[in-house]
Structure 1
Amino acid sequence: MKASLLNWAALAFAALVAVAVLARSTGAYVTSFPEEPDIDGTLITVGLAVAKFLAGLVPYPGVSALLLAIIHAWEPKPEDNYWDHVKDNVAQVCGDFVNEHNLEQVVVYKNDLVSLLKKYERAGPESDGTYPDKNTVADAITTSIISNRYLVEATEMPWSMSVDFVDVAGVHVLVLKDVAETYSDPAGDVSRWWVDLSRELDHYIEYGTSLQAETLTWRDSQIECFFDEASGGCLAFDWMGIDCYDEYVIKDHVTGYQEKCNQLHPDKPEDGSCASFCSLYQRHVDQDSARWVQHNLGSVVEEWAALKLQADAMAQQASRYYNPLTKDNPKQPLALRNMKQN
């Protein structure tokens, strides 16, 4: 009996410790949005939050809570502006090489997208005749994003739009997955929304993969190294013991960084004290850029690729309808759909 009580006490103590640790670790990165990780545009962007949510790595209790957090992040706040944080975040890789026109357009467009997300968050699986259902709002969101994603998939300075691309694509993926699950029956009827999700994931994965490579290639090209060999006049008298110096100059057009390295002219270039001067700096920048790209873009594309396996499998079983139970097609006008339901 005594041993049993001791065991129960140990279990109770362990449970209390686990709860305390969980509360402390969860609360550690809570700031502006109550009880969930703060989507700040720097450590956690909207796109990262969605990817982590899909992977089960953040404690949002459901899609609705995540949508509210996204809306909270995107709505302008003078004291804590998500857009300023994103711009500073992207500047780590591209500096002032920014597509200002598209960035301004995206901020305007996201206001419209926030309005649609608010409607989707309120919508239920079935319409009550006064408010649209998820099927209808999801179609509106899909149409809107596809029509406007040229803003974030820019041909001019696309690397500066990478966080915005991941944000918009992530929201699209989140809504498509949620509506696909909402209108799929566990008994076997599979919504056609899985086909849409599979197709859009294919697009986002392809573009996101190419954007990673393009960003790294471009960043690498923004570093120049100039070599100025010691003058011929000096070298002509080298035999007299005169010291002649070569000069290497690094120019980083993104950061504005510039540095020089002078070396005593060697018999062989590879023996000079500055021989590795440029390559070491280039390698350092390439590593930093690769880490940034992987964190903000690559990790998200990896989650999309994992989700696509599920979407492809479900799409193969999809019915003709987006809502197999009511035979609804979201592209029909709402009034006509209500008539069919009645």
Structure 2
Amino acid sequence: MEQMVQHLLENGLTAVPKRFIQPPEKRVSQTPRKVDEGLQLPLVDLSGMEDDQGRRHVVSEISRACTEWGFVQVLNHGVSEELLQATMDYAWRFFALPADEKEEYRVGKIVGSGHGYGRLFENDERVIADWNDGLAVPSYNRIVDKLPKLIRPPGFQEVVDEYGRALQQLHRKILGLLSEAVGQPSEFFYSKIGGDKAIGDTSFKFYPPCPEPELVLGLSAHEDGGSVLTFVQQSEVPGLEVLKDGEWVVVQPVPHAIVVNVGDILQMISNGRFRSVQHRVFPTQAPAGRLSIATFNKPTPDTIVQPAPELCSKTQPPLYRPVKFLDCQIEFFARKNLGPGFIKRYEMNSTDIIP
């Protein structure tokens, strides 16, 4: 069972265990980083859509960001500031619980589920551990897989459910804008993933301060292999970085904003129009640590993920092979693959064997 970072620190840890030490070439100090304050992730205000001209502008800006960056921050997105704050507050309270209470929610105690407290992909000793503790919960349209009891502290589960419903609506809204960007009706992408039957999961990540931050990563570089769009709410401490033109760019937290990033599934359906890009989290030395909340919006399990025929032509042939989403997820988790490049095995010219 993986070692939880908070527990290690509570027991007086002063040096990073070997399991968490990254190879030199992956450490923050050894990889190119963009420190130019003038280069910032695009920020789009969704309130400017009252008229046709304003909506066209928002569509253009969202499309440009998802094409050039694979990421965008959005404001006035429809999720209330009160709900954003309540969800963040409950997450802080969960990670402040005693270790034995958090252990009740361990991943693996829930049959047939990747939900619970812990870090996925670390049951193989060859996998380098990331410097974080996590809690993964179902967000919406999960009938089975429910946690065995309400998450403590009391009220957390109800807030998570409300948060999930709000982000499901935001998912539909953002996909609508991207659909219009490719010249299709607003329900185009949403219908390709199962519409209102699509599912969502939320991952709470706590990044405690690290005694040797130069040796670790908060979260290793990866793309979101199982997601259509991912929504991230950050605390005020920065940590998220996006790979842009070979350099890592810090995503500065903006109050009440939600970070949106393209997942592999949307890259496949859009036939490469919108990009799923690498991102990571660098370790923090902030005394209180850092918290982020990521909601992964996914197709229904039986969805056949493939380039939309409407976006393909003789001059723009399909770039990816069809794959059932459930099969894609089974393969993703079986390979314990959070690293970059998973989508490449579904490229039409790939020699990798597809199960």
Relative to the length of structure 2, the TM-score reads 0.20
Structure showing the higher helix proportion among its residues: 1
Structure showing the higher strand proportion among its residues: 2
| Higher RCO by CA contacts (8 Å cutoff, separation 6 or greater) | 2
Relative to the length of structure 1, the TM-score reads 0.20
